[in-house]
A and B are shown apart, each in its own frame.
Chain A
């Protein structure tokens, strides 16, 4: 009997462990789980498909330009793109545009899973206007894959070159028959020591596969590839730059009407996913080479361009203020250069917070209706580096003034979760209205995406803070008067 509580506590511990794991590993995407019998209807064919994989940055960026043709007898508007379930949770920034009319905007996309047992999930692309039978349309699908590059070898010397490996399918995964396709891979340089060669008879031109042109490799062309076909290939290329990855970014934007200020604070949990050090870190070697500024796999600095008018920046980590930062306010851009306390080598981590102020007048406008305001802020700022940075999770909080109501927002960043809550801080009685937005798998390409928020803020709500303090102070005066007028004397009162 004694073992029962032990068993139950073990079970509780295990269940919390399991739920904690689920929270982290499950993609935070809204899904539509279709019946198990579902299969993408074969109503399209890909007449011509060109995929470009760009490996310039520390994450692969894929662009698929495809001419789709409706082979059904009815107009169709739902185009599916399959991914393996392990991969789909790392796909970020999935956007589809009309290649010939990009100004028409981004198409609506959603993630669908038709069978939980199946290893394949789909992105469902809704074409804004259904494609008529036998008609063609050119669409451009772009996305990035996070945590897809692995360092090979996994351990390197402090000043040696770093090589990354990327494994992908030479046939672009598609839910439809593809008549003609090829895959172009753009490397950051021409140092590509290893790559998979495919037999020449797969190639439509019967040429050696891949074809090499400087730092660009081309797999294909291939003709009449059936739906769902994959042909895995692997490439290994030099990338002696940090593979900077933020497992979490928390970004707070605080609006103060009384102070006329927009305060921004960002908290980063960074890690370098590159090759780790074979030996101990040598400070002497680091210092000797740092003057020459050679390419290194360590993260040395984070240039953070801020909007003009940024003021009072701060940069702190767990220890306290980090003094190795430079701030250059400018007319076009205020440049903040952060240097971590130590060079962040592969497998190392660094977490810090950085914040700054700005005048509210360039971000907030008053609507002609009177007590409504519109706020326009960048959804994501963060470092701008040639090698890029990827964010697994981003939580943005817009802290509006106390008493703000009727909050609406719009952004082109794919947001997975939104909430409006109250945030209590200095001098608050009710708490400030807070808009929380969560996004996953973002990359630095999303830097300049805007977030527009409108809210109503009656003038009576604005006076809440001074009125509360005034009433408190008046209560003190009243208590002083009441206590002061009490007769506390001992003995009988002398009457004249």
Chain B
């Protein structure tokens, strides 16, 4: 018994999907990124200038964006 999609599955046997960050390190990565974002936001709070908005705000936002995704996965809500 074979169907075309089952053959597709068999053909892809060599490439199982692995996420770039494994389940074991999601919490660490998420926590570090969120902490980094908190620090950067704190420094931005001390000196709110337009230059700092791009120098600190963009990395802080990126760290928060990815950190939030990993942290919510780490606590068991797999998004």
Interface residues of A (CB under 8 A from B): 103, 105-106, 254, 256-261, 263, 312, 357, 359-362, 364-368, 373-374, 376, 408-410, 412, 425-428, 450, 452-454, 465-471, 473-474, 477-478, 480-481, 484-485
B57→A426 contact, CB < 8 A: no
B12→A365 contact, CB < 8 A: yes
Q: Chain B contacts of A360 at CB under 8 A?
A: 17, 19
**A484-B48 contact in complex given A466-B65, A471-B61, C-beta closer than 8 Å:** yes
B65→A454 contact, CB < 8 A: no
| B62 contact from A408, A470, A481, Cβ within 8 A | A470
B64→A470 contact, CB < 8 A: yes
Known A-B contacts: A106-B1, A365-B15, A477-B53. Give 4 more (CB < 8 A).
A257-B19, A260-B22, A470-B61, A470-B65
The minimal Cβ–Cβ distance linking A488 to chain B, given in whole angstroms, is 14
Bound Cα distance A376, B69 (Å): 25
**A469-B76 contact in complex given A365-B16, A485-B48, C-beta closer than 8 Å:** no
Q: Which 3 A-B pairs have the closest CB atoms?
A: A470-B65, A256-B78, A259-B78
Q: Chain A contacts of B78 at CB under 8 A?
A: 254, 256, 258-259, 261, 263, 357
The minimal Cβ–Cβ distance linking B30 to chain A, given in whole angstroms, is 11
B8→A367 contact, CB < 8 A: yes
Bound Cα distance A473, B13 (Å): 40
17 contacting pairs across A/B (C-beta < 8 A): A105-B1, A254-B78, A258-B70, A263-B78, A357-B76, A359-B23, A361-B17, A364-B16, A410-B4, A410-B6, A452-B9, A453-B5, A465-B79, A469-B69, A473-B60, A477-B60, A478-B53
Q: Identify which of residues 29-71 in chain B touch chain A, using a CB-to-CB cut-off of 8 Å.
A: 37, 41, 44-45, 48-50, 53, 57-58, 60-62, 64-66, 68-70
**A364-B8 contact in complex given A412-B1, A469-B64, A473-B65, C-beta closer than 8 Å:** no
Bound Cα distance A312, B77 (Å): 12
| A259 contact from B1, B23, B60, B64, Cβ within 8 A | B23
Q: Chain A contacts of B9 at CB under 8 A?
A: 365, 374, 376, 452
Bound Cα distance A428, B19 (Å): 19
The minimal Cβ–Cβ distance linking B61 to chain A, given in whole angstroms, is 4
Q: Chain B contacts of A469 at CB under 8 A?
A: 64-65, 68-69
A427→B3 contact, CB < 8 A: no
Bound Cα distance A473, B64 (Å): 7
Q: Chain B contacts of A410 at CB under 8 A?
A: 3-6
Q: Chain B contacts of A374 at CB under 8 A?
A: 5, 8-9, 12
| A474 contact from B3, B21, B57, Cβ within 8 A | B57
The secondary structure that dominates the A interface is: mixed
The minimal Cβ–Cβ distance linking B66 to chain A, given in whole angstroms, is 5
Name A402's closest neighbour in chain B (CB-CB): B79
A366→B48 contact, CB < 8 A: no
Bound Cα distance A297, B33 (Å): 56
A362→B12 contact, CB < 8 A: no
| B15 contact from A254, A366, A376, A452, Cβ within 8 A | A366
A258→B17 contact, CB < 8 A: no
Q: Chain A contacts of B79 at CB under 8 A?
A: 256, 258-259, 425-428, 465
Q: Chain A contacts of B65 at CB under 8 A?
A: 466-471, 473
The minimal Cβ–Cβ distance linking A97 to chain B, given in whole angstroms, is 10
Bound Cα distance A108, B50 (Å): 69
Most chain B beta carbons < 10 A, residue from A256, A259, A409: A259
Bound Cα distance A428, B78 (Å): 12
Q: Chain B contacts of A103 at CB under 8 A?
A: 1
Most chain A beta carbons < 10 A, residue from B4, B65, B66: B65
Q: Chain B contacts of A412 at CB under 8 A?
A: 1, 3
| A367 contact from B12, B19, B64, B77, Cβ within 8 A | B12
B61→A365 contact, CB < 8 A: no
Most chain B beta carbons < 10 A, residue from A256, A361, A477: A477
Q: Chain B contacts of A364 at CB under 8 A?
A: 16-17
Bound Cα distance A362, B17 (Å): 8
Bound Cα distance A314, B76 (Å): 12
The minimal Cβ–Cβ distance linking B26 to chain A, given in whole angstroms, is 7
The minimal Cβ–Cβ distance linking B8 to chain A, given in whole angstroms, is 5
**A473-B69 contact in complex given A365-B12, A410-B5, A481-B48, C-beta closer than 8 Å:** no
